[in-house]
Amino acid sequence: MTESFEPFDPDFDDSPEPPQRSGLTGFTVRVLLLLLAGGLAAIVGIIFAIANPQPPAPKPVLLRWWEGVTRWGEPRRLPQETPLDDSQRPPTPEQIQGEIMALSQQWNRIRDRIIQLETQLGISPNLNQTLPERLQSLQDKAQTLPPPAPIPTLILPGNLPPLPGRKLKVTLPNDVLFNDNNQLSPEGSLLLDSIINDLSPHSRSTIRIAAHTDSQTSLEESRELSFQLANTVRQYLASELRGRYRWVAIGYGQTRPLVLDNTEVNRQRNRRVEIAVD
């Protein structure tokens, strides 16, 4: 039997060799891992930037120097002006002249009114005083004036209380009863005679005679005149009637008009004498 021996090699490895991977597959895996890591890093960076905002970093010195060099020599642009509206535009000479004329007219009206008030209050106009001084003089004078007299309350038809006259009531016009001297006229005597027969049966009764005037005179004068007219009628009737009567003469003046005392026809209606028997 024949045997052969090979020398022993200590560096010889008889273990099976691992399978060899393809170079393309390994490259693909590394690229995917790189993209995944980059995406995660980008997401983390975005989240960090949102949570901790930082002011924009200034431009580098070289970049700013380069921008200045490239812009050097270019025409300088002026800022664009905003157009002015009508309220911001300067007034024209015509507008200024119109405003001056309007102010002059207003001043003339104020001056004339001040002079009118000074005349009414008995103040001599002093043109050397300033406007505030003249207004203060008017104010001081007005405070010394007495309070105005109260305006009498006129009772118009809607609120006119009727003159008592349960038994008889007659209304006669003043223009027929009296002449221009406020004396009983011949026609007035005839009118009074026509009602004597109506008054005769009411002996021991109260006969009220109320006279009214218009508003052409003052309040006090109208009351005095109306009482005079009522008393003239009372004297005439008392001299003609036989019997015992209680006489009451009343002068209301202009305080109880039948209608508004604004026309001649209405004033004629308001001038009247009322005779009433209770």
**What is the per-residue pLDDT for 173?**
94
The alpha carbon torsion through 78, 80, 86, 89 (nearest 10 deg) reads: -10
Tokens of 247: 């006489």
Q: What is the pTM of this model?
A: 0.46
Among residues 247, 207, 252, which one has the least CA distance to residue 225?
252
Q: How many CB atoms lie within 10 A of CB 107?
A: 11
Query: What's the 3-state SS for 66-106?
Result: HHHHHHCCCCCCCCCCCCCCCCCCCCCHHHHHHHHHHHHHH
Instruction: Tell me how far apart the alpha carbons of residues 101 and 278 are, in angstroms, rounded to a whole number.
Output: 73
Architecture of domain 157-277: 2-Layer Sandwich (3.30)
**What is the per-residue pLDDT for 7?**
52
Which SS3 state, helix, strand or coil, does residue 212 take?
A: strand
Q: 242: which residues sit within 8 A by CB, 6+ positions away? A: 200
Instruction: Tell me how far apart the alpha carbons of residues 177 and 174 are, in angstroms, rounded to a whole number.
Output: 5
Instruction: Tell me how far apart the alpha carbons of residues 276 and 262 are, in angstroms, rounded to a whole number.
Output: 27
Instruction: Tell me how far apart the alpha carbons of residues 46 and 246 are, in angstroms, rounded to a whole number.
Output: 118
Four-residue CA torsion sign, 139, 111, 105, 103:
negative
What is the chain's pLDDT, residue by residue, as a tens digit (278 residues)? 444 444 545 554 555 555 555 566 777 777 777 777 777 777 767 776 676 666 666 666 666 766 765 665 555 665 565 665 666 678 888 888 888 888 888 888 888 888 888 888 888 888 788 888 888 888 888 888 777 655 455 454 445 566 777 788 999 999 999 999 999 999 999 999 999 989 988 888 999 999 999 999 999 999 999 999 999 999 999 999 877 899 999 999 999 998 988 899 999 999 999 999 98
Tokens of 184: 């009983």
Among residues 196, 198, 174, 171, which one has the least CA distance to residue 187?
174
- Where along the chain do its domains lie? 103-126+133-139, 157-277
The alpha carbon torsion through 193, 195, 200, 206 (nearest 10 deg) reads: -120
Sheet holding 168-173: strands in order across? Answer: 168-173, 272-277, 206-212, 246-253
**What is the per-residue pLDDT for 3?**
44
- Residue 59 exposure: Cα atoms within 13 Å on the Cβ side: 8
**What is the per-residue pLDDT for 61?**
62
Instruction: Tell me how far apart the alpha carbons of residues 236 and 211 are, in angstroms, rounded to a whole number.
Output: 14
